[in-house]
Copies of this chain bind each other. A is one copy, B any other.
């Protein structure tokens, strides 16, 4: 499943160079992942309540273009690799309208048992929706 959210770039989200700072892209992508899991019928909060945590262990992000105040961005999120205890999610940011791709990232997330704080196999009810297609 691939999911998309729309984000307007706000005035306080651009830096002194007038464009969205590289760190902010990661926030936009986190918002995308939150929505993605929610649209699949779950939320990270609910998973936490069941004792299932997630830890981001690596992000590899390409910056392909600049974003400015007033731009409407589309963040697309989809799973690309499902391991035993981890998943790799691919995310891309596009400018609405022109369709120009301004960023692409691979985000590696490990599932952990909230009590032991150690990695755990991804539960089967999640494997189904996290399966790359």
Which residues of A does B touch, CB under 8 Å? 10-12, 14-16, 18, 21-27, 30-31, 34, 45, 55-63, 69
Contact = CB atoms under 8 A, between A and B. Distances in A.
Contact of A30 (B23, B56, B60, B61): B23
A16 B11 contact: yes
B21 A30 contact: yes
Q: 7 nearest interchain CB pairs?
A: A23-B26, A23-B27, A60-B60, A12-B27, A14-B16, A23-B23, A10-B31
Residue among A16, A21, A30, A55 with max Cβ neighbours from chain B (10 Å): A16
Nearest to A59: B61
Nearest to A7: B10
A25 to B, nearest CB: 8
B21 A18 contact: no
Contacts of A63: 55-59
13 contacts: A10-B34, A11-B15, A11-B34, A12-B21, A12-B23, A14-B16, A23-B27, A26-B26, A57-B62, A58-B62, A59-B59, A60-B60, A60-B61
Question: Which of A23, A58, A60 gathers the greatest number of chain B CB atoms within 10 Å?
Answer: A23
Residue of A14, A27, A45 contacting most chain B CB atoms (<10 Å): A27
Contacts of A30: 11-12, 21-23
